[in-house]
Structure 1
Amino acid sequence: MTIKIIREKYLIYYVLIKEIIRTREVRKIIIIILVLIGIIIALLTFVIGLKKDIKSISNQIGNSKGEYRNIYINTLDKDIEELAKKINILYDKNQEVNAKAKHAEEELRQSIANMSHDLRTPLTSIMGYVQLIEKGNLVGEEKEYMEIVKKRTKVLQNLITSFYELSKIQEKEYNFQLKPLNLGNILCENLASFYMEFENKNIEPIIEIEDNLPNIISDENAVIRIFSNLINNMLKHGENYTKISLKQRENAIVSEFINNAPNLTEEDIPKIFNRFYIADKSRNSNNTGLGLSITKAFVEELGNEIKAELKEGKLKIEIKWKCRK
């Protein structure tokens, strides 16, 4: 009996000791889990903080829209702080480069404007003398050479006029005379003035002008120049197919000038309105590369939109004119 009691006591002690050991192991596991959770929370907090800092930098860069602006960041992370400093250094350098480039461009533009203005008067005098000489008794080669002089002088005169106009527009010095205009009437008059040019090139343009188009508020001389430049461009590169349309689309009037452009590529389209850009190098003898640039400047300065696209070997230049409200 005594031995049995002793055994039972030992068994109870054994069970108690085992439970105590098991409880300690559970506690250790719980502590380990809690420590791991704490580490994970700390890491998450750190990562979220980094993400927040990076997002703040990204938003500031996005909101700057390329303009000069210092990046401000309040962070404990030295690497993020260093990143912000380097971005600010890049902004400073970029601002300095842009300022120099802008100053150089303004000087160049002003020089071109001054040169164009100074050359217009003597060139007009030369044109007058050429016309006076033509009235004389020119024969044979003399007449032929004088015709060459006349053509070259006219090209030079157009180039100088283009320089002068472009500089005026870009300097916001062009004096627009705004009034109600009917685009259909202006386009028809322009097309009529180019009748002989189309005949000489054996081109019969497809004309689609919608009736009863609403008026727009714009400058008549600028609109005439826009249409003239685009028609001239078509005549130079039309390759037997030209189409001109003028239609109302929602709250705008859309004009489209479409012509064959076999030598044009998709790479040319983003640069087609750049100054001095000539896509077809084989036809640059009388091409200044300023016509489409002036056209774009006029269109945008008057508050309208212009774009170009190439589809199936055809160039389409589209202008969206704002209707009069």
Structure 2
Amino acid sequence: MGGTTGILIAAVFLLVLYIVILQRQIRNINRQLLKRLTLDTKQPVSLQLINGELNKLTSNINKCLKAEETLRLESVREEKRFKELIANISHDLRTPLTAVKGYQQLLQTSELTKEQKKKLQVARKHTEELGNLIEQFFEYSYLINADPKANTEPINITNLVTECLAESVSSFEEHCIEVKLHEAPTVFAMADQGMTVRIVRNLIRNCVAYSAGDVYVAITASENAVISFKNPVKNAAVIDAARIFERFYTGDKARSKSTGLGLHIIKLLCEQMEGKVSANLNGNELTINVELPLYK
């Protein structure tokens, strides 16, 4: 009887020891996976286990990690090729467009009939629209390839936005849009002046192109300096405010005059200055907010 009890005790002891060893090995796997995630290492999980099933599990984990790394590298290569494609397209389109504009200017100085002048004016209008689209491609290719650094300094956001609106008065009038600027105390931000000007001009272009009514602009200060543009939009039902800053996103797929890059460029520029963007669609009113670090 005593011998049987001794055997049972030994068996239980060995079983507990076996479980402890397995737990230690599993913890080791977790530590290696955590290290791979936090330190971004590419080292495979390496263990010598006494359990065949756990050995198979470790092998399958390594296969999954290798497949994931292969996909990641391919994604990086695809993104690089895409950036080069965008840069080449924007450059290649600029050259013939410049020539087209030159010939249009020559025609403008020629003796034309009233009908010919009217057709030339239509052609010049479409050429300008094409030029704006190409400029967006060019600006986007510059941002993603050159990765410019923000030279932040205290700037008067209120004056900057006001000046950009003033230089765009003719564009608003051409589209019968009235701009209403909310009066508030002057706001200063820590930002790059050139980048901020490009942000505001892109916001203005977006309003001119897609606003279905008057535009309301506000510059306020909370935790950050906030630039807000609010305007009614057509086809509000097809606009997804959560995706509005995505690359190439256009709410209305039938729109043929948009690259879907304008708001994405705003997001890129804002993030380079440690700011953030947001959008809210309330009924048919779209509000776009750009937040930049507040200068106190």
Range of TM-score over shorter length: 0.7 to 0.9
Q: 2: CA distance between counterparts of 1:76 and 1:173?
A: 51
Q: CA deviation at 1:280?
A: 1.4
Which of 187, 191, 206 in structure 2 is aligned with 1:233?
Answer: 206
Scaled by the length of structure 1, the TM-score of the pair is 0.74
Q: 1: CA distance between counterparts of 2:11 and 2:233?
A: 69
Which of 247, 251, 261 in structure 2 is aligned with 1:275?
Answer: 247
Structure 1 residues 215, 305: closer, same or farther in 2, change over 3 A? closer
**Where do 5+ consecutive residues of structure 1 fail to align?**
1-23
Higher relative contact order, chain-length normalized (CA < 8 Å, sep 6+):
2
Which of 285, 288, 295 in structure 2 is aligned with 1:317?
Answer: 288
Q: CA deviation at 1:321?
A: 0.6
Q: CA deviation at 1:223?
A: 1.5
For the 8 Å contact 1:242–1:259, the answer to whether it is kept is yes
- 2:31 matches 1:56: yes
What corresponds to 2:192 in structure 1? 218
For the 8 Å contact 2:154–2:188, the answer to whether it is kept is no
Summarize deviations over 1:264-304 as a string: whole Å, max 9, x none: 4698334322332211124x232121211222222222332
Q: CA deviation at 1:49?
A: 4.6
1:1-325 paired onto structure 2 within 5 Å: 45=20, 48-49=23-24, 52=27, 55-56=30-31, 59-60=34-35, 62-63=37-38, 68=42, 70-73=44-47, 75-174=49-148, 179-220=153-194, 222-240=195-213, 242-250=215-223, 252-261=224-233, 263-264=235-236, 268-282=240-254, 284-324=255-295
Range moving further from structure 2, 148-157 or 263-272: 263-272
Range moving further from structure 2, 101-110 or 32-41: 32-41
Q: 1: CA distance between counterparts of 2:52 and 2:183?
A: 66
For the 8 Å contact 2:181–2:217, the answer to whether it is kept is yes
For the 8 Å contact 1:69–1:91, the answer to whether it is kept is no
Structure 1 residues 209, 32: closer, same or farther in 2, change over 3 A? farther
**Where do 5+ consecutive residues of structure 2 fail to align?**
none
For the 8 Å contact 2:211–2:234, the answer to whether it is kept is no
What corresponds to 1:14 in structure 2? none
Structure 1 residues 271, 139: closer, same or farther in 2, change over 3 A? same
For the 8 Å contact 2:189–2:225, the answer to whether it is kept is no
Structure 1 residues 58, 188: closer, same or farther in 2, change over 3 A? same
The residue type equivalent to 1:306 in the other structure is V
Structure 1 residues 114, 243: closer, same or farther in 2, change over 3 A? same
Q: 2: CA distance between counterparts of 1:182 and 1:112?
A: 34
SS in 2 for 1:321: strand
Q: 1: CA distance between counterparts of 2:151 and 2:107?
A: 38
The residue type equivalent to 1:102 in the other structure is V
Structure 1 residues 61, 286: closer, same or farther in 2, change over 3 A? same
Q: 2: CA distance between counterparts of 1:180 and 1:305?
A: 18
Q: How many residues align?
A: 296
Q: CA deviation at 1:79?
A: 2.9
Q: 1: CA distance between counterparts of 2:48 and 2:204?
A: 58
Structure 1 residues 81, 141: closer, same or farther in 2, change over 3 A? farther
Structure 1 residues 196, 323: closer, same or farther in 2, change over 3 A? same
* Percent identity of equivalent pairs: 26
Q: CA deviation at 1:177?
A: 5.8
Structure 1 residues 39, 301: closer, same or farther in 2, change over 3 A? same
Structure 1 residues 68, 278: closer, same or farther in 2, change over 3 A? farther
Structure 1 residues 35, 50: closer, same or farther in 2, change over 3 A? same
CA RMSD of aligned residues (A): 3.5
Q: 2: CA distance between counterparts of 1:132 and 1:177?
A: 41
